[in-house]
Structure 1
Amino acid sequence: MEILNAILPPREIKDGEQLWIQPVSSTPATRPDVIALQEQLDLRLQQRQARETGICPVRRELYTQCFDELIRQVAINCVERGLILLHVRDELRMTIAAYETLYESSIAFGIRKALQAEHGKGDMETKILDLEAKNRELERSVNELMARCEAIERQETERRHIDEKNHNEEIQFLKRANQQLKAQLEGIISPRK
C-alpha cells in the first residue's frame, strides 16, 4: 500500500474548511473491470468531444487518467511492473513537454519569418514601384531618342538628295560649258573657208 501511495499519491479534496484525502484503491482489477474501464474511456471521449487527431487537451487528460489506472492495476499485482510503467509515464510526459516546447518555438519562429516576409514585402513593393517608374522613364527616353534618330535620318536623306541634285546640276552645267568651249575651240582651230 505504501508503494502504491508513492506511485500514485492520494487525492486531496478541500470542501470549505474540510480536507478529504482519497487514497488509491488497492483492490485488484478483474477482467470485467478492465472492460468497464475501456467502455468508460470511450464514453468520456465521446461525451467531452475529444478530437481523434491532432493536439487535444481533453483526449490527453482522459488518456492520462486511464494510464494512471493501468499503472495502479499493474502495481497491485506486481510492484516492479508498476514502477516500470511509472517510468514510462514520466518519460512520456517529458517527451510531450519537449514536443510542446519545440512546437511553441517553431510557431514563434514561423511568426517571426512571416513578419519579416511581410516587412520585406513592403520594401519589395516599393522597390518594384521605383523600378517600374525608372523603366517608364527609360522607355520615354528611348522613344525620344528614336524620334530624334528618325528626324536626323530624314534630314540627312533630304540633304543627300539636295546635294545629289546640286551635284547633277553642276555636272550638267559643266558639260554644257565644256561643249561650248569645245565648240569655240574648234571654231578657232578649224580653217576658215
Structure 2
Amino acid sequence: MATIMIPPPDSLLRYNPPMLVSRRTEKRSPEALPLKGTPQPSPPPGPVPPSRPRTTAAASAKEPQEILNAILPPRSWEEDNRLWVQEVSSVPSTRLDVVQLQEQLDLKLQQRQARETGICPVRRELYSQCFDELIRETTINCAERGLLLLRVRDEIQMTIAAYQTLYESSIAFGMRKALQAEQGKSDMEKRIEELEEEKRELERLVSEEKAKCEAIEKREIERRQIEEKKHAEEVQFLKRTNQQLKAQLESIIAPNK
C-alpha cells in the first residue's frame, strides 16, 4: 500500500518540490543529499584524479540557490523512516506572481481570521512568510539587496522579540502586583473583620457598663427617696414632740400665774 506524504503546512514562501534525502532503514544512496552535520566520506587511497572545473554557467546557476539556502534554510521532515528536504525556489518571479502573493496574503488573513489590529500571532506569521518571499524574489535578482533585506528583517524580528520580552515582563510584573494586592486585600479584610469583632465586643462591654450605671443610679435614687422620707418623718415626729412639750410647759406655767 502506497504511503501518502504529508508535507509541512502551506507557506507563502515558494519552495521547490520535496526531495528524498535518505531512508532510515536502508543505506543512503550516493545520489542522496548530505545531511547537516554528517561528515563527508573520505576519498579512496591512491592518486587523486584531477577535479573537473565547473563551468561559469553551472557556477552562476548554483550560486543563487546556495545564497537562498543560507538566507532561507530548507525545511525538512521525517515520515515513515524517510527524510525529506524542501529548498526554497530559485525561479524568478514576475509581476503577476507578486500580485498573486498579495491576493494569497489577503486570502490567508481572512481564512485564518487574523486580527486587523493589536497583537496577533497569525497575522505576524503570515506577514513574516510574505516578507521572506519578497526577500527570496529580491535575492534572485540582486544578492546584495537580498542580504540587506535579510539584515532589516533580522533587526525587525529582534526589535519585536525585545518588545515581546518587555510585554511578557510587564504582564508578569502586573500579575505579581495583582497577586500582592489580592493578598493584601485579603489581609485587610481579615483585619477589618477582627476590628469589627473587637468593636462589637467593646460595644457589648459599654452596654453592660451602662446597665450597671443605670442600676446604681436607680438604687441611689430609691435610697435617697427612702432617706428623704425617713428624714421627713423624723422632722414631723420632732415637730410633734416639740409641740407636745411646749403645750405641757405652757400648762404648767399657766396655774402659777
Select the structure with the greater relative contact order (CA < 8 A; seq sep ≥ 6). Answer: 2
- Most deviating of 144-153 and 122-131: 122-131
Provide structure 1 residue ranges, at least 5 long, that are not aligned to the other structure: none
Match of 1:55 in 2: 119
What's the counterpart of residue 22 of structure 1?
88
Percent identity at matched positions?
64
Alignment partner, residue 36 of structure 1: 100
Give yes or no for the alignment of 1:108 onto 2:151.
no
Matched, 1:143 2:200: no
Pairs within 5 Å for 1:76-155: 85-155=149-219
Q: CA 1:13–1:141 in structure 2 vs 1: closer, same or farther (change >3 Å)? A: closer
Taking a change above 3 Å as real, the CA distance of residues 86 and 49 of structure 1, as seen in their structure-2 partners, is same
Which deviations, in whole Å up to 9, do the C-alpha atoms of 1:108-155 show, x marking residues without a partner? 223323333443344344433433332232222122111111111110
Paired amino acid for 2:71: P
Deviation, structure 1 residue 179: 1.8
How many pairs are equivalent?
Answer: 191
CA distance in structure 2 between the aligned counterparts of 1:127 and 1:149, rounded to whole angstroms = 32
Query: CA RMSD for the aligned pairs?
Result: 3.4
Aligned to 1:169: 233
Once the two structures are TM-superposed, the CA of residue 161 in structure 1 deviates from its matched residue by: 0.7
- Whether the 8 Å contact between 2:90 and 2:140 is mirrored in structure 1 is no
- Which whole-Å CA distance do the structure 1 matches of 2:238 and 2:178 have between them? 87
Distance 1:167 1:154, change over 3 A: same
Please tell me whether the aligned partners of residues 10 and 24 of structure 1 are also in contact (alpha carbons under 8 angstroms): no
Q: CA deviation at 1:90?
A: 3.0
Q: Is the 8 A contact 1:74 1:81 kept in 2?
A: yes
Sort the Cα spacing of 1:66 and 1:8 in 2 relative to 1 into closer, same or farther, 3 A.
Answer: farther
Distance 1:100 1:83, change over 3 A: same
8 A contact 2:68–2:139 mirrored in 1: no
1:64 is aligned to: 128
Contact 1:74 1:82 in 2 (8 A): yes
* Partner residue of 1:179 out of 243, 252, 255: 243
Q: 1: distance between equivalents of 2:87 and 2:137?
A: 20
Confirm or deny: 8 A CA contact 1:50 1:59 kept in the other structure.
Answer: yes
